[in-house]
Every structure is written in structure tokens, then in C-alpha cells.
Structure 1
Amino acid sequence: MKLFFKPGACSLSPHIVMLETGLDFTLVRVDTAAGITEQQEDYRRINPKGKVPALQFDDGTVLTEGVAIVQYLADLKPDRQLLAPTGTLARYQTLEWLSFISSELHKGFSPLFSDAAPDDYKAVLRQQLEEKFTWIDGELKDKQWLSGLHFSAADAYLFTVMRWAKLLKLNIASLSALEGWFQRVAARPSVIEALEAEGLN
């Protein structure tokens, strides 16, 4: 399998999950602005959406969208407990987290990285994101991980998004449960390896 990524982008989430599974894969860097891979391939011929991540199988089939990719990877290695078994409430609670991070957090960051977005709009988005991170902090007060006792695919995704919050200096430093959780994720060998591979350490 090949995992197409851009350093620090949302592709960091499946990169971490891939390392957690122990599956063999090749990491391929993409310049999404230019639309080419590090091997000078036309990336849109691989993923017409032009975005990362994309997971390409040996037969050429491509799976896109980070939430779908991490679920697929987690199900390949159920013993790693990155996603609970089908039919259990715990599984759907993790999917609930993945959905929340995708729709309520991830998309809110995109305009903050755009020069075209008006400053007053960015201010509103920052406040909304800070409120959502405050809610997450409350959810983490009595938990080691988002889903309880086990690191899950949702933790990898939230870690990726929280890195953006820190980069943009959102007002979340006082959220002690969230910060403690972030440091626990950052200490995992898979996360350290992913960050080093992407040149983010």
C-alpha cells in the first residue's frame, strides 16, 4: 500500500494509524499546490480530488478521505484496538468522535490558513473552535483517551487537528485535561515516528 501525504496536513492521522497497525506501506509525499508527487507523478491521476490523504492498493485501487482510511486500517488489525468491533456501542462512539472532529473541527480550520478569508470571519471561527476544544477538555477530564482505556483512530485525528490549533495559537493553553491528553498522544512511538518521517520534529 501507498499512503499519499502532505507534511502536517490531515494525512498525519492515517499515517499515525498506519504505524499503529504495523502494516507495511510506502509513504509518498505530495505537493498539493503543484499537483505532483515526489516522483513527479500527476497526483490528480491518482486522486482526482487533489487532496491528501489517499491510500493506494497494489492493484491501483484508491481510497480517499481520512475518516474512511483510518476505519479501514483499524479493521485490518482489530487486535490493535484502534476501533472496537462492529455491533458494539464503543465502535460507534469512536465513529461519533471521528465525525465530530471532521465536521466540527477540521473544516473550521481551512479558512484560518487562507489569505483570502476576511479577518472578522477568522475571528468568529477561532472563537467557535476554542469553544469546541473547551467542550472536549470537559469530556477528557476522567479519560485517558477519547474512547476511554484504548488509544483509537479518533485520538490520532484529534491530535492532528490540535497541532493546527497550537500552530495558530488558539486560546486553549488553560485546558489542562486536553493538554495532558495531547502530551500522552505525542509520547506514543507511532506519533514520534510519523512526525519525524514528515519532518515535523
Structure 2
Amino acid sequence: MVGHRHAPEIHPGIAPRPTLRRRIDQLMRALLPSLFIVFCALVLSAGLGIPGQNELCFGIAASTVFFWSAHRPQSMTPLMTFCVGLVCEVLSFGPPGVFVFSLLVFHGVAHLWRYGLSRISFLFGWALLGGLALVLSLFGWIIACIGTLAMMSPVPSLFQAAVTIGIYPTLSALFAWARRTVADPEQA
């Protein structure tokens, strides 16, 4: 019989006390991705006069859900994704249910393929996000056309996909840093 060898701990048995402050710190670090999405959605729902605010909100939410679902699924669970999508849905003016559905699809694909995404290059992961953004933006356009019973221009949906694809590298770099520092519950 082969015994499993585990690497010895550097300081076995030494761990910080589980105080209330430490538990709250761990919870806040775990909730940081969701809180980031809610904060951005609140800021972008205000009348700032920035062109493409709704598209930017979708891009930030989709990129955040995709990254954290692939790299730290404990920080972006399906329930958290649903709740964040619901908040974004209430603050956006798109067809009902499309925002939540899109975020859940981003979460599902990233979570399902997280082991493959960790082995492939960043460009392939970015291409996967881009394909999903394009398909789900066009899905939102189709639902909007059905809801209004009129053929609408697909340009806003294509712009939404382009914003999502364009913002992901910057957010990915920010989240890679945050994953090792401020959003790591183990460092609490």
C-alpha cells in the first residue's frame, strides 16, 4: 500500500484565533468580488452622462464573474452570482432576466472549465470570454426585439460585447493582484 505524503506545514498547529474580527475580515475578503460589482453597478446607474454606462456595467459584471468563477469559485458562488445579477438587473434598463441569465452563463462556463482555463494561455481565456460576450449580447438583442415586437438595431449589443472584451484584460490584471492580496480570505 502506498502512503500519501503531504508537505509538512511550516508552523504546525499555529493559527490565529478565530475571533469575530477575523471572521468578519474573512467574510469581507470573500465577498469583495460581489461588492465590487454592486458598487460599480450603483455608480454606473447614476446619471453621469457617460456614453455606454449600461454596456460598461455589463462588461464589468461579466468580466468579474468570469474571472472569479474560474480562479476562486468560493468567492463567486452561483447564489452570489444570482444576487449580484439581480441587483444589476434592477439597476439596468434591459429586458427582464437577461442580465441575471447572462451572468449565470458566464459563471457556469468559467466554473465548469476552470481547470482548463488555468492551463491555457490568457489569450485563449480572453477569446472564450469574447465569444460568450458576443453570444449573450446578441441573445439580449433578440430578447429585446421580441419584447418590443420590432426589429431593433444590433449596434448597442455589439458595442456591449466590444466593451466586455476590451475591459477584461485590465480587470483581469487588477483581479490577479487582488486574488493574492486584499481578496484572499486566508490572509485575514
* TM-score normalized by the length of structure 2: 0.32
* TM-score normalized by the length of structure 1: 0.31
Quick check: which one's strand share is greater?
1
Q: RCO greater where, 1 or 2, for CA within 8 Å and sep 6 or more?
A: 2
Larger Rg: 2
